[in-house]
Structure formats: C-alpha cells, structure tokens
C-alpha cells in the first residue's frame, strides 16, 4: 500500500474529525493511485481514528482489490469522479451540519453562492463577484443511480470543486489531497457563512 497516500487520508480524517464534519463514522475519503485504482476508507470506521488497516484499494468500479475489507457504501461516487476527470487526485466526502441543512433548504439542481472573498479558495476563482454554482442532487441509497446522475450532469457541463447531496453532505475534490482539503475547507467556510446569514434572516 502506498504509505504517502494512506497517510494523507489518515491526516485528512483527523483534521476533518477535529472540525466536526464527519460525526459517528459518517463520510468517506479517497486518493487516486493510478488510472485503474484508488485507496478508500473502509465502511463504518471512525474518521478521526483511521489507521492503514482501515484503508483498502479498489478498482474504478469500486470493487476491492486483494482485500477482505468492505469499502464505504459511497465508494462508487469516488471512483466515478476519478473516471470523469483524470485530473482529480483526491475526494473528501463529509456530513457537516452546514452542508446538510443548506442542501435541504435549497430548491432545484444548483446551490449558488456569491459575494464572498473566500470564493477565491476555489481553484480558478479570482473575485468575490463571480457566482459559484455547485450541483445539488437529491439523496438516495442507490449509489449506482446517483453515480449515473452524476455522469449525466457532468456530460451537460463538467463540475468543479464539489457537489452537494440533499440532506446528506458534500463531496469535495482536488488534483491532490492538499487541493481537495483546500476546497473542502473553503466550501465549508462559505456554507457556515450562508447558514449564519439565514439564521440572522439576512438571505
Ligand atoms: Zn455520506
């Protein structure tokens, strides 16, 4: 197993847990190994206490390679992202309060943000003035169906930074783990601001 990649997932898990974004074994993380495989978190592990024994290699259909461990249920979404964009090197899926609540309040297929300086934490954004659009999907327990909906949306227009699943959470990605963490942190900051604005009745 690639020790640098596995350590990057373990470190991300500790940080994400310290932020409270993956309570009660929720969420899952992965890092691309190559065009055919990725390293993912096993199902049901606490994300703040991961060890190398909690990670397994999967193929791009989300099936384990030489491992008795069961991959996270949502592994198929990680591997679909790797297939859709060869530039994606890491995916972090979290269940934060802000992403869960805001995705329930938002109507339609897009979640939009504008006017925040921190939009510049998302690659390619250089101004607070641009509108950020994140794809928003209805939640389901059928991961194959959700992965197909992701592919359909991607064919209409490639997605950037991440997407939301309603009442569920966020998938954020980057070309490597460092950029995935930056996108996750930036998006969670923006969600926290939006949630605070709504609490104050400001939008
Ligand atoms: Zn989830």
pLDDT at 62: 94
**In this structure, what token pair is assigned to residue 70?**
């069961």
Q: Which domains does the chain have, with CATH numbers?
A: 3-199 (3.40.225.10)
CA of 175 to the centre of ligand 1 (A): 21
The three-state secondary structure class of 92 is: strand
Task: Yes or no: say if 170 and 96 are a contact pair by the CB < 8 Å rule.
Answer: yes
CA of 51 to the centre of ligand 1 (A): 20
Phi, psi at 66, each rounded to 5°: 55, 45
pLDDT at 197: 92
Q: Work out the pLDDT band at 116, boundaries 50, 70, 90.
A: confident
If one counts every other C-beta atom within 10 angstroms of the C-beta of residue 97, the result is: 15
pLDDT at 32: 97
CA of 188 to the centre of ligand 1 (A): 15
Nearest-angstrom CA–CA distance, 60 and 84: 11
CA of 71 to the centre of ligand 1 (A): 13
CA of 34 to the centre of ligand 1 (A): 24
> Could you read off the pLDDT of 86-107 as tens digits, one per residue?
999 999 999 999 999 999 999 9
Determine which helix (DSSP H) or strand (DSSP E) holds 112, and give its type and residue range: strand 110-113
> Could you read off the pLDDT of 143-200 as tens digits, one per residue?
999 999 999 999 999 999 999 999 999 999 999 999 999 999 999 999 999 999 999 9
């Amino acid at each position: 197993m690639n020790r640098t990649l596995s350590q990057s997932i373990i470190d991300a898990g500790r940080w994400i847990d310290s932020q409270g974004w993956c309570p009660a074994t929720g969420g899952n993380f992965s890092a691309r190994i190559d065009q055919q495989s990725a390293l993912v978190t096993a199902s049901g592990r606490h994300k703040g206490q991961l060890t190398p024994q909690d990670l397994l290699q999967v193929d791009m259909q989300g099936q384990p390679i030489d491992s008795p461990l069961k991959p996270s249920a949502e592994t198929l979404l990680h591997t679909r992202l790797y297939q859709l964009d060869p530039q994606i090197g890491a995916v972090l899926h979290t269940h934060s309060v802000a992403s869960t609540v805001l995705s329930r309040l938002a109507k339609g297929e897009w979640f939009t943000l504008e006017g925040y300086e921190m939009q510049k934490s998302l690659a390619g954004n250089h101004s607070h003035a641009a509108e950020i659009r994140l794809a928003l999907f209805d939640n389901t327990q059928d991961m194959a169906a959700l992965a197909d909906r992701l592919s359909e949306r991607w064919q209409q227009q490639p997605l950037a930074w991440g997407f939301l699943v309603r009442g569920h959470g966020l998938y954020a990605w980057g070309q490597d783990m460092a950029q995935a963490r930056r996108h996750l942190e930036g998006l969670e900051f923006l969600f926290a601001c939006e949630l605070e604005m709504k609490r104050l009745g400001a939008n």
